[in-house]
Amino acid sequence: MSTELFHQPITALSAALEGKRLTAVELMQAVIARTKAVEPRVRAFNSSDEADALAQAAASDARRAAGTSLGVLDGIPIGFKDVIAVTGQPLTASSKMLANFVSPYDATVTQKLKRAGAVIWGRLNCDEFAMGSSTENSAFHTTGNPWDVTRVPGGSSGGSAAALAAGEAIATLGSDTGGSIRQPAALCGVVGLKPTYGLVSRFGLIAYASSLDQIGPFARTVEDAAIVLQAIAGHDERDSTSFNAAVPDYRSELGKRRGPWKLGIPKEYFAEGLSPEIGAAVEKAIAYYQAQGCEVKEVSLPHTQYCLDTYYIIATAEASSNLARFDGIRYGHRSAKAKDIVDLYFQSRAEGFGAEVKRRIILGTYVLSSGYYDAYYLRAQKVRTLIRQDFLNAYQEVDALITPTSPIPAFKIGEKSDPLAMYLCDIYTIGVNLAGLPAISVPCGFTSGHLPIGFQLIGQPFQEANLLAVAHAYEQGHDWKTKYPSL
Ligand code: GLN
């Protein structure tokens, strides 16, 4: 193998593990050494337990030696966004509120990955409670983009994207409420998949906005994303919104579904504010599909202009309700200064939450308050239906939609101080969450300043197999996945 171990995809590493050319312990040691070397600059991790990871890797090697390998993920180190529960590991949501919290249980996705033999590796930084687009809202530190550590990796799952791009994990998990997997994937030059709402269990995911949240993979290739999705998808009775349907074999479907597809270009997604370099790179990707025989046509999603407003009403309303549980009583930060019980609530929340989280709790409480509920929350729910209908109408004519993932490439740490400017980073990703659809960001080039660019493919509900196949078709014809940041 010429490429360094820590930069290789799951497919290559699992073949080497199967072929006894590599052990899981050697792989884990390579990832740990790489992490030690680059982490002072990347700062993707909130915590990690090397001894525990090496013990898991040794157990994987023992299974293989005994002929009881658990499959393609057995021995593969996977990093977790610090909002997904792993028994005995810290679970902080990058918040002071949970700075000392250790999870007493596994998320369903964690359980599934353990059963697949993956090595559960490291807690990855994010914006506090997944609110943000840059990891700058983390209460602990800001993660650097591996392509230029003076720039943000995107967010909120910035640590997950950066760790993967830097070779500090072989795949990672993130969560996506308005773009938090796809936008950092685009900014860090990796693949990021947000599944259809209901495909992956949210049990054990710290809730931000429950009707929008989904867990999904970051991976080096589309095939790797298919492998991880395969492992984490499926019905779970512990998540009442989990969808009960058979999960196809996404990896083997990749080779079977060959198109040509009908692709729609939503005209509202190529508007003012889009970086010309990103626009040009996405146009090139579109041209590639055309050259492969795909039919490409312009479509309209007329309610796109309302996505941002709708999102920031619904997401903050749900967040204000979800975060009410952090009261300083049962778990999480408890103020030492409180005079009485009411003061304890106030002080604990005042000390435990950061500015952006407070902003959203206040906004969400306002839109839910009596007298404003109908004007804001109820109305936003109606507009949400119209937004979803726009997509479903487009799918009468096309199989998938193609858009930029982010309007701009990675920006400088500290560059965006205005919350609204930050919210605009998700202009192309939030509609997908409001509509509950699957979408993937795929690398499609670099800016003149060597910053990664990604394009987004948006699929039909529960048609991840098609979505992955469309993405795979592009990836097969390009070699962006073999470019690594020179850290
Ligand atoms: N950036 C968006 C927000 O701040 C989306 C975050 C996410 O998907 N978790 O809400």
Domain extents in the chain: 5-266+396-482
Residue nearest to atom 4 of ligand 1 (CA): 132
**Residue 195, ligand 1, Cβ within 6 A:** no
Residue nearest to atom 5 of ligand 1 (CA): 178
**Residue 399, ligand 1, Cβ within 6 A:** no
User: Is the distance from CB of 318 to CB of 380 less than 8 angstroms?
Assistant: no
Distance CA 88, CA 110 (A): 12
**Residue 133, ligand 1, Cβ within 6 A:** yes
Exactly one of 69, 156, 320, 348 is catalytic; name it.
Answer: 156
Ligand 1: centre distance to CA 116 (Å): 29
Residue 262 catalytic?
Answer: no
Tokens matching residue 471 = 């993405």
pLDDT of residue 1: 45
Instruction: Specify the 3-state DSSP secondary structure of 296.
Output: strand
Distance CA 200, CA 232 (A): 6
Question: Which residues are CB-neighbours of 410 under 8 A, at least 6 positions away?
Answer: 145, 147, 148, 151, 152, 153, 154, 187, 188, 451, 452
**Residue 312, ligand 1, Cβ within 6 A:** no
Exactly one of 81, 112, 114, 481 is catalytic; name it.
Answer: 81
Question: Which residues are CB-neighbours of 55 under 8 A, at least 6 positions away?
Answer: none
Task: List, for residues 384-393, the tens digit of each pLDDT value.
Answer: 999 999 999 9
Ligand 1: centre distance to CA 433 (Å): 10
**Residue 135, ligand 1, Cβ within 6 A:** no
Tokens matching residue 308 = 């941002």
Of 130, 33, 140, nearest to 77 by C-alpha is: 33
Q: What is the enclosing helix (H) or strand (E) of 256?
A: helix 250-256
Distance CA 167, CA 485 (A): 9
The dihedral built from the CA positions of residue 315, 318, 324 and 326, taken in this order, carries a sign that is negative
DSSP 82-109: TTB--TTSB--TT-GGGTT-B-SS--HH
Distance CA 307, CA 380 (A): 9
Ligand 1: centre distance to CA 26 (Å): 36
Distance CA 199, CA 259 (A): 24
Residues of the chain with pLDDT under 50: 1
Question: Which residues are CB-neighbours of 291 under 8 A, at least 6 positions away?
Answer: none
Q: What is the enclosing helix (H) or strand (E) of 456?
A: strand 452-458
Residue 412 catalytic?
Answer: no
Residue 160 catalytic?
Answer: no
Q: Partners of 147 in the beta sheet? A: none
Tokens matching residue 20 = 């006894």
**Residue 426, ligand 1, Cβ within 6 A:** yes
Task: List, for residues 219-234, the tens digit of each pLDDT value.
Answer: 999 999 999 999 999 9
Distance CA 234, CA 454 (A): 28
The architecture of the domain spanning 5-266+396-482 is: Alpha-Beta Complex (3.90)
pLDDT of residue 2: 61
pTM confidence score: 0.98
Question: Between the CA of residue 172 and those of 78, 100, 194, 251, what are the distances in Å?
Answer: 5, 23, 13, 18
Closest atom of ligand 1 relative to the 130 alpha carbon: 9
DSSP state of 206: P
User: Is the distance from CB of 485 to CB of 190 less than 8 angstroms?
Assistant: no
Ligand 1: centre distance to CA 313 (Å): 13
Ligand 1: centre distance to CA 41 (Å): 24
User: What separation, in Å, do the N-terminal and C-terminal C-alpha atoms of the chain show?
Assistant: 21
Question: Which residues are CB-neighbours of 172 under 8 A, at least 6 positions away?
Answer: 78, 79, 80, 81, 124, 157, 160, 161, 163, 164, 217, 218
